[in-house]
């Protein structure tokens, strides 16, 4: 292995502490938390809440390039963009009280991986601790989690949002700060739509579906100055809590699954031709699609002709319901187990799914089901629902990216795994892998990569033939990540920065690089 030590940090810190005494930078006395590692395309990001910066490790070339970008003080939350090209960070800021402190409000930071580009700061006004980003990276919404006020604040408005147009620079109108109407509940999550064109408006835009107990709010995020639309969900019984939203952008519609609701709620956005200037030019039209039994999971797909269907699992009735999204006609397929997980295959891409996998995670059954989706709505065609018996109960099912494969987890500690081939509908065990505390898949789904902190190794499983190999490390791993170019990044959990970079799943120890102290790079050269 090649070893790279960035600096002898302990000696430097000791010298600096003695020399600076009370005049040293405040960053030496701050509480320090590291957010990350956050995987981007070919970069790994770490966010340092004491040093007010992001450290980027670029793994695109054979030699790792390390750069830093300054951000605001006291980072509290970070997420990658959906395409993993950008990183978004919320910083709480700081009130100047002591020597060396600088007044700084809460900010939202957007940065890319180009070393020449500085991070862009948007003033968000409140220390939000959650971010929702639209699938096309055009709009972000900062909001509060349900955790309540923290020790560093006084008042908190839990229904406040900051809507940020990421395509425009910061200004007095960007972000837009907005407080949505409340019916006694607060947001528990926000789901952003892909660009959707409401028929009759002629404009593609992004909508935010804000979920809270007994209530769902729709906000035109492309026009955040317009008033939100609230939809009451409760029926006077147990609270109706929306949990999942999936979108049909071609028809400007969404499908909502809620706890304590009998059916799937379809929300169709229709134009309001006579809308006043500055008012919403759309309205939601609601329809209940006949799941009829309290759905626990839903999936939406288009068949080869472009017809949209909704799959819903209803454990109360032990049925799988296939709903025609245009006509609301449905077909029920009986199933013996209380299904609560639906996966479609193939996943992603332009090929319509032709099979669905159903599992019962909560009840940990010893079988899964496969359903053929071709001609599923034809009443003259028998539903091709087939059970697949397993040796052990399952606690999770994970699709393998880019492959018609599913990883079956057979216990809560991820020590016993299996692989289900959706083409042959056969299963194979994977034994001797140890506890999977951290795992990832290679970009094209050729390998499963796993690690546990108790073993100084990284394990690989070739998913074509289930051949296992392992890679010996010098130190225990904390987390493993796979980059877009096929490299394996092993974080060792050191607050000063310690990682092993493995070029590929077939690389030897001589090919690997160990980086130590990279979170301290240029530390003494930076300004307070």
Q: Which domain holds residue 349?
A: 328-431
DSSP 342-399: EEEES-SSSSPP-EEEEE-TTTT-SEEEEEE-TTTT-TTSPP-EEEEE-SS--SEEEE
**Is there a single domain that holds both residue 353 and residue 379?**
yes
pLDDT of 21 > 50? The answer is no
**Is there a single domain that holds both residue 513 and residue 391?**
no
> Domain ends where: 373, 403, 431?
431
Does the residue 43 lie in any domain? yes
Element containing residue 10 per DSSP (H, E): helix 9-20
3-state secondary structure labels for all residues of 199-263: CCCCCEECEEEEEECCEEEEEECCCCCCCCEEEECCCCCCCCEEEEEEEEHHHCEEEEEEECCCC
Does the residue 231 lie in any domain? no
**Is there a single domain that holds both residue 3 and residue 41?**
no
> Domain ends where: 125, 144, 179?
179
**Is there a single domain that holds both residue 403 and residue 519?**
no
Does the residue 236 lie in any domain? no
More confident: 9 or 186: 186
> Domain ends where: 136, 163, 179?
179
CATH of the domain at 132: 2.130.10.10
Specify the number of domains making up the chain.
3
Pairwise CA distance, residues 194 & 248, whole Å: 9
**Is there a single domain that holds both residue 417 and residue 487?**
no
Query: Is residue 164 within 8 Å of residue 174, measured between CB atoms?
Result: yes
Residue 430 bridge partners (DSSP): 417
Query: Is residue 482 within 8 Å of residue 441, measured between CB atoms?
Result: yes
pLDDT over 90 for what percent of the chain? 62
pLDDT digits (tens, 9 = 90+) for 34-88: 999 999 999 999 999 989 999 999 999 999 999 999 999 999 999 999 999 999 9
pLDDT digits (tens, 9 = 90+) for 271-330: 998 878 889 999 999 988 876 668 899 998 888 888 888 999 988 888 898 988 877 788
**Is there a single domain that holds both residue 175 and residue 39?**
yes
Pairwise CA distance, residues 269 & 247, whole Å: 11
Residues 6+ apart with CB under 8 A from 435: 413, 414, 415, 452, 454
pLDDT digits (tens, 9 = 90+) for 118-128: 999 999 999 99
CATH of the domain at 501: 2.40.10
**Is there a single domain that holds both residue 500 and residue 450?**
yes
- Work out whether strand 297-302 and strand 308-314 pair parallel, antiparallel, or are unpaired: antiparallel
Query: Is residue 194 within 8 Å of residue 135, measured between CB atoms?
Result: yes
**Is there a single domain that holds both residue 380 and residue 515?**
no
pTM of the model: 0.90
Q: What phi and psi, each to the nearest 5 degrees, are found at residue 61?
A: -110, 180
**Is there a single domain that holds both residue 81 and residue 137?**
yes
């Amino acid at each position: 292995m090649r070893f790279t030590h960035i600096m002898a940090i302990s000696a430097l810190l000791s010298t600096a502490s003695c020399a600076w005494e009370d005049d040293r930078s405040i960053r030496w006395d701050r509480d320090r938390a590291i957010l990350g590692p956050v995987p981007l395309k070919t970069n790994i990001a770490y966010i340092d809440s004491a040093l007010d910066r992001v450290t980027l490790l670029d793994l695109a070339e054979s030699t790792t390039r390390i750069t830093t970008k300054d951000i605001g003080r006291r980072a509290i939350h970070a997420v990658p963009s959906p395409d993993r090209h950008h990183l978004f960070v919320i910083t709480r800021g700081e009130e100047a009280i002591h020597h060396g402190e600088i007044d700084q409000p809460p900010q939202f930071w957007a940065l890319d991986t180009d070393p020449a580009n500085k991070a862009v700061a948007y003033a968000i006004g409140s220390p939000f601790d959650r971010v929702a980003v639209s699938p096309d990276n055009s709009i972000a919404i900062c909001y509060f989690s349900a955790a309540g006020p923290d020790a560093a604040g006084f008042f908190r408005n839990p229904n406040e949002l900051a809507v940020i147009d990421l395509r425009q620079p910061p200004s007095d109108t960007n972000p837009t700060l907005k407080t949505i109407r409340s019916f006694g509940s607060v947001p528990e999550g926000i789901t952003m739509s892909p660009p959707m064109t409401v028929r009759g408006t002629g404009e593609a835009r992004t909508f935010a579906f804000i979920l809270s107990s007994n209530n769902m709010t729709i906000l035109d995020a492309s026009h955040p100055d317009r008033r939100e639309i609230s939809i009451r969900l409760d029926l006077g019984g147990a609270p109706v809590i929306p949990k999942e939203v999936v979108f049909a952008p071609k028809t400007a519609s969404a499908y909502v699954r809620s706890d304590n609701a009998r059916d799937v709620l379809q929300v169709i956005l229709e134009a309001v031709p006579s809308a006043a200037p500055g008012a919403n030019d759309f309205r939601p039209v609601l329809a209940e699609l006949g799941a009829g039994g309290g759905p626990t999971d839903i999936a939406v797909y288009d068949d080869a002709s472009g017809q949209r269907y909704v799959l819903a699992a209803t454990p109360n009735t032990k049925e799988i319901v296939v709903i025609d999204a245009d006509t609301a006609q449905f077909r029920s397929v009986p199933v013996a187990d209380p299904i609560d997980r639906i996966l479609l295959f193939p996943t992603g891409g332009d090929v319509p799914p032709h099979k669905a996998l159903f599992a019962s995670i909560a009840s940990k059954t010893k079988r899964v089901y496969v359903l053929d989706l071709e001609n599923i709505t034809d009443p003259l065609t028998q539903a091709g629902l087939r059970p697949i018996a397993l040796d052990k109960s399952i606690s999770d099912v994970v699709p393998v990216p880019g492959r018609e494969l599913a990883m079956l987890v057979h216990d809560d500690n991820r020590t016993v795994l299996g692989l289900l081939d959706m083409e042959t509908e056969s299963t194979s065990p994977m034994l001797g892998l140890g506890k999977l505390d951290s795992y990832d898949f290679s970009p094209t789904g050729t390998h499963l990569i796993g690690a546990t902190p108790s073993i100084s190794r990284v394990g690989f499983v070739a998913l074509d033939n289930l051949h296992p190999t392992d890679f010996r490390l010098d130190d225990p791993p904390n987390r493993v990540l796979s980059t877009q170019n096929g490299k394996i990044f092993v974080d060792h959990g050191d607050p000063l920065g310690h990682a092993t970079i493995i070029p590929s799943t077939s690389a030897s120890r001589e090919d690997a690089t160990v980086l130590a102290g990279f979170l301290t790079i240029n530390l003494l050269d930076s300004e307070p």
